[in-house]
Amino acid sequence: MDEIAHGIDLVDCSRIRQMLRRHGERFLRRIFTAAERSYAESNRNKVEKLAGRFAAKEAILKLLGTGWRGSIAWTDMEITNSPSGQPKVKLSGRVAEIARQKGIGPISVSITHTADFAIASVVAAAGLRPRPLPLSPQRG
**Catalytic member of 62, 88, 90, 102:** 62
Q: Cβ neighbours of residue 88 under 8 Å, at least 6 residues apart?
A: 79, 80, 81, 82, 109
Query: pTM of the prediction?
Result: 0.87
CATH value at residue 87: 3.90.470.20
For 74, which DSSP code?
G
Assess if residue 39 is contained within a domain: yes
Per annotation, catalytic residue among 46, 90, 102, 113: 113
Q: Is residue 131 one of the residues assigned to a domain? A: no
Assess whether 6 carries a catalytic annotation.
no
Of the candidates 66, 59, 67, 61, the one whose C-alpha atom is nearest the C-alpha of residue 9 is: 59
User: Is residue 113 flagged as an active site residue?
Assistant: yes
Position 138 pLDDT exceeds 60: no
137 or 12: whose pLDDT is higher?
A: 12
Would you say residue 51 lies in a domain? Answer: yes
58: exposed, middle or buried (Cβ count in 10 Å: 0-12, 13-18, 19+): buried
> How confident is the model over 64-107, as pLDDT tens digits?
988 777 789 999 999 999 999 999 999 999 999 999 998 998 99
Q: Exposed/middle/buried for 84, CB within 10 Å: 0-12, 13-18, 19+?
A: exposed
Residue 104 lies in a domain: yes
- 70 found inside a domain: yes
The percent of residues in the chain predicted with pLDDT above 90, rounded, is: 77
Average per-residue pLDDT for the chain? 90
Check residue 140 and give its pLDDT.
Answer: 47
Strand pairing category for 3-12 and 117-126 = antiparallel
In a domain, 140, yes or no: no
Q: What is the pLDDT of residue 87?
A: 96
62 occurs within a structural domain: yes
Query: Among 4-13, 20-29, 79-88, 124-133, which is the least confidently predicted range?
Result: 124-133
* Rounded mean pLDDT, 26-33: 97
In a domain, 85, yes or no: yes
Residue 86 belongs to domain spanning: 3-126
- Confidence band, pLDDT 50/70/90 cuts, at residue 134: low
Q: Is the pLDDT of residue 45 over 60?
A: yes
Total structural domains within the chain: 1
